[in-house]
Structure 1
Amino acid sequence: MNPATSDTAPAPAAPEKTHLRLGFVALADAAPLVAAKLLEFGHAHGLTLELCRQPSWAAVRDKLLSGDLDAAHTLYGLVYGVQLGLGAPRTDMAVLMVLNRNGQAITLSNRLADALTKAAESTASSGATNGSECSPLRAALATLGRKPVFAHTFPTGTHAMWLNYWLAAQGVDPLRDIDSVAIPPPQMVAALAQERLDGLCVGEPWNAMAEAHGVGRTIAYTSEVWPEHPEKVLACRRDFVDTHPHSARALVRTVLEACRWLDGAGHRDEIARWLARPDYIDIDEGLIAARLGDRMDTANTRRLPMRFFDNGAVNYPHPFEGAWFLTQFERWGMIDARRDYEDIAARINQTQVYREAAASMNVDVPREDVTRELIDGERWGDASLSAAYARRFAIRR
């Protein structure tokens, strides 16, 4: 088990490659990379960072694989999908660190949100139990008179997994009861406004924008699905770590410094202003700041704030968290059952690289004996056995 204190490490060696191209998609949780660039945190670690905005997660994947990007802000599940050859040539990948936790949401069209409110009121007044057969969501979807259409951002990505899990927890089969489409985050609100979608799962500020434009309402947060879930990661190809190990550690140190800065007083408002610039998200800073706060929502205690550092608790790439995505790939029929999920996760998640970088920054490494309870009461943690986990669910492929 990892101790809850930082390891010791020798003085860092000079990076082999000093100019790094980092990809990102226009989302609020790209904040660590934007802060690292604009505050030039890389200089102290021998790095110059070049940020390269990408139009979609598919573009991030393709440019990582081609070598056009050295590393990227990307979806946790995307990295694992590439490792297995899902939708792209199988390539050995590396997760260097977790960039953030929480901070995503599920937004419904106004029509469906209204129907859900009425269905929930009807269920409450009838005294029916909230089982899957009398789920208000199922009743609301039935009012559409057709198969609902929901969007996520990438087939193996986090949003697809959160959306599927949330639907299934309420008795809705995401493979049979709805049609799913993948849409890049910046295009989500337009698709909702054009009535092409009944719901979506995406990162901020796009849920906030949908509400501000009056085309949808946020009805659930992904922290309700998995409290303190890992979301975006800093990822690269494995051969980058093998060829440039000192650059990889320097990059982790740089981004850890940015994550720590984001926890400083007033820095969330400052990063919202920077993210609003045309080179980054290019929308009103108020929409970004509205859901980038670091305080708990007292009205909904399962809506947890987006976390970037929290004294290092956010950033350690726990292998058991990566293995969870493999169980969901199995659950939804994307892969056949395997018995080596823990081994795959241990190869992808660069825990030793992270430990050495964190030690040189005096950042604590959290314990690994962590267990979380998900929205349906299932528990997942370091001691969970992934081999049979996917088969525990009534709704699955």
Structure 2
Amino acid sequence: MTNDIPFSPLAWVNGSDAPEKHSLDIGFMALSDCASVVVAATQGFAQPYGLSLNLKRQSSWAGLRDKLVNGELDAAHSLYGLIYAVHLGIGGTRATDMAVLMGLNQNAQGIHLSAALQRQGVTRPEALERYVHQSRTKLTFAQTFPTGTHAMWLYYWLASQGIHPLHDVNSVVVPPAQMLAHLQAGRIDGFCVGEPWSADAVAQGHGFTLATSQSVWPDHPEKVLGCTRVFVEQYPNTARALIKAILAASRFIEQSPENRRSTAQLLSGNAYLDAPLSSIEPRLLGDYHDGLGNHWHDPHGLRLHDQGRANLPYLSDGMWFMTQFRRWGLLREDPDYLAVANQVQQLALYRAAAAELGLPGDVSAMRSSLLIDGIRWDGSDPHGYARSFHLHAMTPAPSAHLAR
């Protein structure tokens, strides 16, 4: 892999834009959507901005969260909902002011069911709905963090099929790379996780991909570059330089299919995903095989850049996760949705960095999306939206932990 993007001399060398901190510890989880962080750190995209990025692979989202809050990590490839949960003081830690510097990707998470359910003919949503309501025992589904994106996609998808995610099934937390082992052992009946772990399960003959997260919400927000607000306040030039480095890397990856393939090869290494290239590359390119004989190229596959549209920290994206926390009882009261999003989303910093790379910076901070259940989200009425669902819960929703 080579870096073929030309860089112009930058003011940080002698001027006031110099990064205040040059060496950064950046956390990530073994998931395909950490791609732009890994490429930025290892392929020469950070140095032109005066940075050295030291990658720190984490074994669980809870561990990543704790290290981010206590300062062991400067920034991290993070779940959108993790950052907001910490900011709001839910999800197992004290409230800490947090920041979303940029989006890292959209789409490309999978809802996967076991081979045992496949053998019983539970291969379509309506069959799962019948099975859940007729079975004497509850199915157990795993997600990766109680307030994380995977929990929210799983809950939203199940609810859209008439299955209450907190009453009709059991929900447990399992770190991404451990999903397949728990599925094989029969401890869970299905999971929602980022790639390549659903694709890897399909490749090994352990069940099938029942739905993708982009079928729930096309071009949905997913991982973000997260940090504490203290980091942004202490090192604003560093934060802006970090955004530029990762934006440049994300742009490079999407310049050509060849760049995506070389990125998949890089990610397959032991230091990053430690997974077969054959489980990483196809879905990184948008090519899906679900384990039921269906093959397709997904028009809403993994987007790491999309001319900046996948990277803008939309206010409405942050607000959406809070509406789901309220929907499922993780928040007992409505927050001031827009005010909190304005605190967390670092729009001004992102727009400054994007402008320096020649990317459009005047894109609206709100966007409108139609989700799987036909309900439109545009951020205009978060209170009403959170209460608009047929299935919801107004009591806290604990998640058991099978592993941490």
Q: Which residue of 2 aligns with 1:99?
A: 104
Q: Which residue of 1 aligns with 2:141?
A: 150
- Say whether residues 1:27 and 2:31 are aligned partners: yes
TM-score of the aligned structures, taking structure 2 as reference length: 0.89
Root-mean-square deviation (Å): 1.9
- Say whether residues 1:379 and 2:373 are aligned partners: no
Question: In structure 2, what is the Cα distance between the partners aligned to 1:188 and 1:307?
Answer: 23
Distance 1:295 1:180, change over 3 A: closer
- Say whether residues 1:141 and 2:141 are aligned partners: no
Letter of the 2:60 counterpart: S
The 8 Å contact of residues 115 and 143 in structure 1, kept in 2 or not, is answered as no
The 8 Å contact of residues 287 and 295 in structure 2, kept in 1 or not, is answered as no
Question: In structure 1, what is the Cα distance between the partners aligned to 2:307 and 2:59?
Answer: 32
- Say whether residues 1:334 and 2:330 are aligned partners: yes
Deviation at 1:284, TM superposition (A): 1.0
Letter of the 2:314 counterpart: H
Distance 1:39 1:24, change over 3 A: same
The 8 Å contact of residues 296 and 304 in structure 1, kept in 2 or not, is answered as no
Question: In structure 2, what is the Cα distance between the partners aligned to 1:381 and 1:220?
Answer: 24
What does 1:237-276 correspond to in 2, within 5 Å?
A: 237-265=228-256, 266-276=258-268
Deviation at 1:363, TM superposition (A): 1.1
Q: Which residue of 2 aligns with 1:280?
A: 272
Question: In structure 1, what is the Cα distance between the partners aligned to 2:202 and 2:132?
Answer: 20
Deviation at 1:390, TM superposition (A): 1.3
The 8 Å contact of residues 286 and 297 in structure 2, kept in 1 or not, is answered as no
Of residues 186, 211, 215, the one that matches 1:220 is: 211
Question: In structure 1, what is the Cα distance between the partners aligned to 2:113 and 2:19?
Answer: 46
Distance 1:200 1:329, change over 3 A: same
The 8 Å contact of residues 223 and 302 in structure 1, kept in 2 or not, is answered as no
Question: In structure 1, what is the Cα distance between the partners aligned to 2:123 and 2:152?
Answer: 27
> Structure 1: where are the runs of 5+ without partners?
1-9, 121-134
What does 1:8-23 correspond to in 2, within 5 Å?
A: 13-23=17-27
- Say whether residues 1:80 and 2:79 are aligned partners: no
Question: In structure 2, what is the Cα distance between the partners aligned to 1:207 and 1:217?
Answer: 8
Deviation at 1:346, TM superposition (A): 0.8
Specify which structure has the bigger relative contact order, considering alpha-carbon pairs within 8 angstroms and separated by 6 or more residues.
1
SS of the residue corresponding to residue 307 of structure 2 reads: coil
Deviation at 1:111, TM superposition (A): 2.3
Map Cα deviations across residues 102-127 of structure 1 (whole Å, 9 max, x no partner).
0101000122234455777xxxxxxx
- Say whether residues 1:186 and 2:191 are aligned partners: no
Q: Which residue of 2 aligns with 1:52?
A: 56
Distance 1:20 1:140, change over 3 A: same
Distance 1:250 1:161, change over 3 A: same
The 8 Å contact of residues 316 and 366 in structure 2, kept in 1 or not, is answered as no
Q: Which residue of 1 aligns with 2:307?
A: 311
The 8 Å contact of residues 11 and 360 in structure 1, kept in 2 or not, is answered as no
Distance 1:237 1:368, change over 3 A: closer
Letter of the 1:200 counterpart: F
Aligned residues: 373
Question: In structure 2, what is the Cα distance between the partners aligned to 1:303 and 1:166?
Answer: 19
Letter of the 2:28 counterpart: F
TM-score of the aligned structures, taking structure 1 as reference length: 0.90
Question: In structure 2, what is the Cα distance between the partners aligned to 1:196 and 1:380?
Answer: 35
Q: Which residue of 2 aligns with 1:124?
A: none
Letter of the 2:243 counterpart: V
The 8 Å contact of residues 313 and 346 in structure 2, kept in 1 or not, is answered as yes
Identity fraction in percent: 45
Letter of the 2:99 counterpart: A
Deviation at 1:391, TM superposition (A): 0.9
The 8 Å contact of residues 296 and 303 in structure 1, kept in 2 or not, is answered as no
Question: In structure 2, what is the Cα distance between the partners aligned to 1:119 and 1:19?
Answer: 49
Deviation at 1:368, TM superposition (A): 3.6
The 8 Å contact of residues 284 and 301 in structure 2, kept in 1 or not, is answered as yes
Question: In structure 2, what is the Cα distance between the partners aligned to 1:113 and 1:323?
Answer: 36
Question: In structure 2, what is the Cα distance between the partners aligned to 1:339 and 1:202?
Answer: 28
Deviation at 1:89, TM superposition (A): 0.9
> Structure 2: where are the runs of 5+ without partners?
1-9, 394-404
